Structure 1
């Protein structure tokens, strides 16, 4: 099912602005995970996720009010938004839990099989035409992910597969978002996603209270932990805002390859904060994932097909 965009062609200045905004978004995005890794040492991943949704919704609220986006809320689609909120909650909790045991750059690199999953799921469920070349690129990308997962699996066990779970959730989230993006305001969609995500997290934390679970037993953050949890939400809100306006200014096919630079910026931040740096095998895996993803995007652009992940709502790494 291919949809034709009605957005007017972007001017050169718009494209330049879109590129600048996307670069800023990619530079800020790894800070979500840096703050999450700092917080996870004392705060459960479910509580960090709830904090993200709370702060993100709080940051979005003035924009939603100013734009009068409440008027565009589709209450008939509440179940659809609830499912999106549940999926993004599972994705976030999975990824934050991973950060307790794995290096940030490794987790993000594995997560970037998400565009590959979007391509495959788009072909299965949306009947997108996908040739053997893109399917081959998907297989190559998964091989690159295995180069990173295999040594990590030996170190931390099945935890190394959680970024794959997170990526699968985001891929499903992207496909569901596309179904709504052409008829709902992107700001209201993000705001509703945050509210539903917060509600699901609150329920999980209520059920987990007193269980001693590292995931869902809430604690009272102390000292810098408040700042770290707030930082996760603030960086997510900033990334979302930058991404929305980047995609409004320039075509997604132009901007999408820049998302892979997040692996580089994440590696730099992780090295500066935690002293983590991927070894040669992991760098090879990262290079393979990036190359396969960029090739898929290039094929989509060459055949003038709208990428499955081209929505007006930004969907970057959790």
Structure 2
């Protein structure tokens, strides 16, 4: 993509629109988690998303067939595992906390690049990593006398997502975005099917039972919200892809951190969730650290979308 084709204003608007869509659709998960099953949700949502992507490819917009099946499938394990944890946490933790945990991914990418790929990092990015992880602690606010492992789960999701970003560059740099997205959603569908096979039908009631339930009767309301989630995710990620086609990656990636604002805003509107001043400070540190790392890294890493190849979709 040549610089003459860049449209930074439209790129920013596109990414902001994508994050707005994801921020609100992620907040619809509690409509499903009170009586639904995490595994059923991922199986059905993943299958619907793959069908939608196949329809897009059939219309001539991109290619769904991967160049290297094994590489795409192996790569898909990491972001799919991250999203499995991410959506599981949405039923028991405030969405702002969960999103903040996922946005530690750029910091983990930098650490992985230094430890395993031999990348050299200066003082500024090193300081950004330290500030970001301190921000994560402010968001979680762990109590040494009563540590709750679930509070750290969003950071585990961020770590897995970071591995996925690194191996995407190493294994799948020439794959189309539709192929990578189909691999991701297809893997989530398989994860969901495996969970349904292992867990007994039904399960505990309430939001806390979302992860522990197997197959549950599907109501019209559940079908509606699962479909909304699938379509909303495709629209949101599609807008992010579009933003990366219209703007320089390092510039565009900065706008992904608006998800922290949008997700927290809709959580307040829909569910009355509020974020305390300490957690807000932590979220600001995470966002600032991510922006610094993004702007000082040659190849920016999208957090809620795979890297868009230079030749477009």
**Residue 120 of structure 2 corresponds to residue 129 of structure 1:** yes
Is the contact between residue 69 and residue 185 of structure 1 (CA under 8 Å) also seen in structure 2? yes
Give the deviation of 1:123 after TM superposition. 2.2
Please list, as runs of the form range in 1=range in 2, the aligned pairs for 1:145-184 lying within 5 A after superposition.
Answer: 145-150=136-141, 157-184=148-175
Contact 1:106 1:148 in 2 (8 A): yes
How far did 1:88 drift? 2.8
Cα distance in 2 for partners of 1:126, 1:195 equals 29
2:294 to 288, 293, 297: 297
For the pair 1:241 / 2:230, whether they are aligned, the reply is: no
Specify the alignment match of 1:316 in structure 2: none
How far does residue 260 in structure 1 lie from its aligned partner after superposition? 1.0
Contact 1:10 1:250 in 2 (8 A): no
Could you say if the C-alpha distance between residues 68 and 292 of structure 1 is closer, same or farther in structure 2, counting changes exceeding 3 Å?
Answer: closer
> Which of 166, 176, 187 is 1:196 aligned to?
187
Q: Quick check: 1:88 aligned with 2:75?
A: no
| Greater Cα shift, 61-70 or 184-193 | 61-70
Name 1:250's counterpart in structure 2: 247
- Among 298, 307, 310, the alignment partner of 1:311 is 307
Runs of at least 5 residues in structure 1 that lack an aligned partner in the other structure = 1-6, 314-318
Aligned length: 300
**2:2 matched to which residue of 1?**
8
Q: Which residue of 2 aligns with 1:66?
A: 59
TM-score, length of structure 2 as denominator length:
0.87
Q: Distance in 2 between matches of 1:107 and 1:280?
A: 16
3-state secondary structure, aligned to 1:224: helix
- 1:35 and 1:97 map into 2 onto residues whose CA distance is 13
Secondary structure at 1:311 match in 2: coil
Give yes or no for the alignment of 1:106 onto 2:97. yes
Report the CA distance shift for 1:226/1:311 in structure 2 as closer, same or farther (over 3 A).
Answer: same
**SS at structure 1 position matched to 2:3:** coil
Gaps of 5+ in 2: none
Counterpart contact for 1:55–1:233, Cα < 8 Å: yes
RMSD: 2.4
